[in-house]
Amino acid sequence: MNKQKLKESMQRNCQVKYGKSIEKAVSYQIWNSLSLALLEEIVENWNQTQEIYKKQKRAYYFSSEYLMGRALGNNLMSMQVYDEVKELLEEMHINLNEIEEIEEDAGLGNGGLGRLAACFMDSGAVMNIPLSGYGIRYSNGLFSQKIVDGSQVECVDEWLKYGDPWSIRKDDLAVEVTFDDFTVRAIPYDTPIIAYGSKNVNTLRLWKAEFLESFDFELFNNQEYDEAVQAKNRAEDISRVLYPNDSKEEGKLLRLRQQYFMVSASLQDIIRSHKEEHGLDFTTFDKWHVIQLNDTHPVLAIPEFIRLLVDEEGIKFEEALAISQRIFAYTNHTILQEALEKWEMDLIEQLFSRISEIIIKLDEHFEATLADKDYEEEVLEQFHIIQDEKVHMANLAIHVGFGVNGVAQLHTDILKERELHQWYELYPEKFQNKTNGITPRRWLRLCNPELSALITELLGNEDWVMDLSKLDELEKYVNDESVLKRLMAIKHTKKVQLAEYIKETQGIEIDPNSLFDIQIKRLHEYKRQLLNAFYILDLYYELKENPTKEMPSVTFIFGAKAFPGYERAKAIIKFIGQIQQLVNEDEEVNQKMRVVFVENYRVSLAEKLFPAADVSKQISMAGKEASGTGNMKFMLNGAPTFGTYDGANVEIVEASKEENNFIFGLRVEDIAQIEDEYDPQAFYENDKNLMRVIDSLIDGTFSDGGTEEFEELHDSLLEGTSWHEPDQYYLLADFKAFKEAQEAVLTAYQDEMSWAKMCLMNIAHAGVFSSDRTIMEYAKDLWDIKPIRI
């Protein structure tokens, strides 16, 4: 890199954008100026990449979320100029770390679904796969979380407040998306996905919704100012917020608008490029294009594609359907029925009546194709796209798509054997497994430079960054005490860094010499943060009764957001907050244990948490977690898994061996045996310690501020509700096993060298969980696409 050229570009950008020299600029202005200068460096490669991709089949990833994280540091690493730019900035008396910290996390995703999409974008570029991402450019993310008196408070996530220097607005490629009641303009913003180790630059194209006119001039002229911008605001609402609350009909309609907006704009874009490059011949469309639907959110793409071909291109319905059956594949991310979207037909009819007509026609078509298979009516009903006046989006995706994949071997097996068994029998050739993965660039090379340097030294080169399977060679150091001590020293360094961050941002002091036991993920009942909280409270009571208990000091760290409308999840956060206050303020126990709920869990915070973890808490009810990717990030950074035999935990244990992890609790087959006669009351009555922690919800130990949320939590476990049985996620049944496994952790941690071996064995066998491996499996097994590079 030409440092002088970069410096001059920074100066020019700062002068033009802010009217001042870089020497007088504040942090966010320097960040923008530097980012634009770096963007200049890769634009030519970006354009060349798009040109060569036109020569062969391309894949398009449709996702409602992309949890990208910060761009600057990751792009510097991908361009392999991080150290050079850091040196240049030091010469200019600028601290690169301070500039990185000013950047807001892009508010484009929420959980594992969005982070997986981001990892796939990175791996697609690195592996030179012609892969483009399509989504929505939300003006605001889900929300910025504050923890106030232990409770979640939602604030606006203004990720764009300092601008977005890494995206390019392309008005010339705008398209119009028409609903039955109004039309909006979809403006594409292109973000470069820079390949580490290659000149390829892939594209993430995100759509922003704008009204056709900025305001109604006649209304404004009549001094009806609010009414003059009403239509504009209504259009912009479509891309305003990620996952708007849909507890009422208006919220449902907005979510449905978002989904249609995204897929319609994206499909119009793909069809336009096809016509430019291949003319009006749609019979070969599948030779050039394949679309991966990331969960059910983009499944409206199927009827919309058919609509575009039939209504706009003059193709017959049967031919349009046949083309659709060759270009769409569907990734299932869950076995939770409530997470498989089912949209009321009347909502679809309100917004796009033509789409409802096509869905009805598709349902009739597939009913006719199944007529000769001698299904009983009850079985046949399960295959319908429309059931009880609702459109079952997963059914639509499976009927039409040529491929259906789960995201971990256990998850796929459950889909085939239980949740989608009838579909598997109908279309066995469609089902595949594609175990999730993570990018080693962000989740080790960037977030843990100390460990990365050690790995590079031990392996003799940095090839592992591109081929994570090379980590296998680390196993030969498992008995090398000097290496193990260095590994533990690095872990301590990362714990010190995290402790300093938590002290600075939340004012909570934690001991980096303690065991860091971390559970970070979306807050949902099946992920069982409440089970973890019950154990922590039980340990607190045990230490109060037995202050001399032999154990290492331990810090329990939580990080999670609960959806604003998910009241029970928010109650669990409040309960954890109450436990945090009880434990941390009690001088009799707080030297041995502490609790921290870190606020506003996001990618940039995760980059601090994963490297600092001693223990990876993955305790979802067996059979409910499709895969997980946080478990892989912990593993890659040397944290043994404490978890159920669920999701990708199964494959983690297979790779690094059960003796190097802590597996506990009921397995899928165990639950199947007891679910019909499960009685949580028996566990409650026969375990006084369990009874005590559960009763703390209602006996005055803690306060929920008079909301009765804690009583509702208590009753949901012991009495159930109108919509589910008592303790539907088997917390009480797994409590004893959880305690035993946690005791095993506390014992094992006291033998530093033995613990270090467990950590190294996890790192050494994390290579199989690279998203590079996953994306190449998609390319080979589903998309039939080969790499191509400039």
Q: Which tens digits make up the pLDDT trace of 260-279?
A: 999 999 999 999 999 999 99
| 494-752, CATH topology level | Rossmann fold (3.40.50)
SS (H, E, C) 677-689: HCCHHHHHHCCHH
Q: What is the rounded distance in angstroms from the CA atom of residue 395 to the CA atom of residue 452? A: 44
Sign of CA dihedral 694, 698, 702, 704: positive
CB burial string 114-130: b at 16+ within 10 A, e below: bbbbbbbbbbbbbbbbb
116: left (phi over 0), alpha (psi -120 to 50) or beta: alpha
DSSP character string of 565-623: T-HHHHHHHHHHHHHHHHHHT-TTTTTTEEEEEESS--HHHHHHHHHH-SEEEE-PPTT
For residue 54, pLDDT beyond 90: yes
Tens-digit pLDDT profile for residues 466-515: 999 999 999 999 999 999 999 999 999 999 999 999 999 999 999 999 99
| CB 576, CB 529: distance < 8 Å | yes
Among residues of the chain, what percentage have pLDDT more than 90?
A: 94
| CB 484, CB 529: distance < 8 Å | no
Residue 702, SS3?
coil
User: Which member of 191, 334, 629, 641 is catalytic?
Assistant: 629
Instruction: Give 585's strand partners.
Output: none
Q: What is the rounded distance in angstroms from the CA atom of residue 750 to the CA atom of residue 758? A: 13
Bridge-based pairing of strands 615-618 and 593-598 is unpaired
Whether 333 sits among the annotated catalytic residues: the reply is yes
Whether 54 sits among the annotated catalytic residues: the reply is no
User: Which member of 527, 561, 617, 757 is catalytic?
Assistant: 527
Residues of the chain with CATH 3.40.50.2000: 59-66+108-341+394-436, 494-752
Tokens standing for residue 2: 């030409």
User: Which member of 274, 333, 399, 528 is catalytic?
Assistant: 333
Whether 392 sits among the annotated catalytic residues: the reply is no
User: Which member of 521, 561, 570, 602 is catalytic?
Assistant: 521
Of 339, 429, 433, nearest in space to 392 by CA: 339
User: Which member of 185, 416, 592, 633 is catalytic?
Assistant: 633
Tens-digit pLDDT profile for residues 534-550: 999 999 999 999 999 99
For residue 785, pLDDT beyond 90: yes
Whether 493 sits among the annotated catalytic residues: the reply is no
Residue 58 phi/psi, 5° resolution?
A: -125, 150
At residue 286, the pLDDT reads 98
| CB 490, CB 760: distance < 8 Å | no
Of 297, 332, 327, 463, nearest in space to 785 by CA: 327
| CB 48, CB 790: distance < 8 Å | yes
Question: What average pLDDT score do residues 716-731 get?
Answer: 96
At residue 224, the pLDDT reads 80
Question: What average pLDDT score do residues 178-198 get?
Answer: 97
Whether 527 sits among the annotated catalytic residues: the reply is yes
Best-predicted range by mean pLDDT (210-219, 329-338, 498-507): 498-507
Is 59-66+108-341+394-436 a CATH 3.40.50.2000 domain? yes
At residue 373, the pLDDT reads 87
What is the DSSP secondary structure assignment for residue 197, as one 8-state letter?
T
> Torsion angle, CA of 756/757/763/769, rounded to 10 degrees?
-130
For residue 216, pLDDT beyond 80: no
For residue 423, pLDDT beyond 80: yes
At residue 246, the pLDDT reads 87
> Torsion angle, CA of 281/284/288/294, rounded to 10 degrees?
110
* Residue reference for tokens 């059914």: 395
Dump strand ranges (E) for 325-456. 328-331, 342-344, 386-387, 390-392, 403-406, 431-433
| CB 342, CB 392: distance < 8 Å | yes
At residue 495, the pLDDT reads 98
Band of the pLDDT at 427, cuts 50, 70, 90? very high
- pLDDT averaged over every residue in the chain: 96
Whether 522 sits among the annotated catalytic residues: the reply is yes
